[in-house]
Each structure stands twice: as structure tokens, then as C-alpha cells.
A = this chain, B = another copy of it.
Amino acid sequence: MADASDPAERMALILTRGGMQRMTARVLCAVLFADQETITAGEIAERLVVSAGAVSGAIKMLEPVGMIERAPVPGSRRDHYRFPDDGWQRMMSAQNRVVDEMLQAAEEGIKQVAEGGPAERRLADMRDFYGYLMAELPALIERWQRDRAQA
């Protein structure tokens, strides 16, 4: 249950190819695929057959981004984690933060590049395209939330 035929591990692999750290991806997927409401760091380590330290490190990446959250579980001294309800939107936001930074870099680039030159045209194009997407995405997500609430 820990080889590549495990869908969880497969997805982790895909995320890794998509740029996520390996261990981070594996921990995230372990949480996603866990057939329980919450899961402890120890359980994750057990399933992935990795050290507790490795899990701890991965959590330190995932938690601040909001892709997993600590779940208050009274009467237990270990930390329980779960995937937030709005986890996917958070993941999206994390992506968009990168795009935002790119837009800033593009803006600065435009300032420093010859006016009317090819570089300016390219960068302006980039700014327009991603700017448009970033502006429209929130509405799209909102619409999804509405549709989902009705279902």
C-alpha cells in the first residue's frame, strides 16, 4: 500500500513533477486520502514509512500556506491535522501569489526596458493576460461556491 500503484503516492508524484517538494507532496496526499476526519503526524509517518522528523518538516511547509490545518481534538495530546474545507481555494491562492509576484516583476521590467521595443510588448502582453485572469478568477470561484451550495 505504499508503492506507486497507490493513488495517493501517484498523486504525490504528480504534484512533485508540478514543482512541490517530494515529502511535502506525500504528506499532503496522505492527509487527502486518509479515510478519517483527521490524522496525526505519527499516523502519517507510519503510512509513508518515513521518520517523524520528515513529517514535521513537511507540515511546517503546508500549514502556513493553509493546505492543512490543525484540528482541535480535546482529550488527545497529539496534534490532529485535516485538509481544510476551502483547501483547494487556498491552494489556488498560493499559486496566484506567485503569479502576482511575476506581474510585479513584469511591471518593473517594463520600466527598465526600451519604450516601444519587443521586450516591452512581450511584458505588457504578459501583464495583460495574467492580470485579466487574476481579475476574473475570484468571480469564477465564487460562482463555483454558489453552484456547490445549491447541490
Residues of A near any B CB (own CB < 8 A): 7-8, 10-11, 14-15, 17-20, 32-37, 83, 88-89, 92, 95, 98, 101-102, 105-106, 108-109, 112-114, 117-119, 122-123, 125-126, 128-130, 132-133, 136, 140, 144, 147-148
Task: Give the number of times this chain occurs in the complex, counting copies.
Answer: 2
**Contact status of A83 and B122, CB under 8 A, knowing A105-B11, A140-B136:** yes
Residues of B close to A20: CB separation below 8 A: 19
Contact A113 B33 (CB under 8 A): yes
Q: Which DSSP category, helix, strand, loop or mixed, fits chain A's interface?
A: helix
Hey, which chain B residues are within 8 Å of A140, CB to CB? Answer: 133, 136, 140
- Beyond known contacts A83-B122, A133-B144: 7 more, CB 8 A cutoff: A7-B106, A7-B112, A15-B98, A32-B119, A35-B114, A88-B125, A89-B129
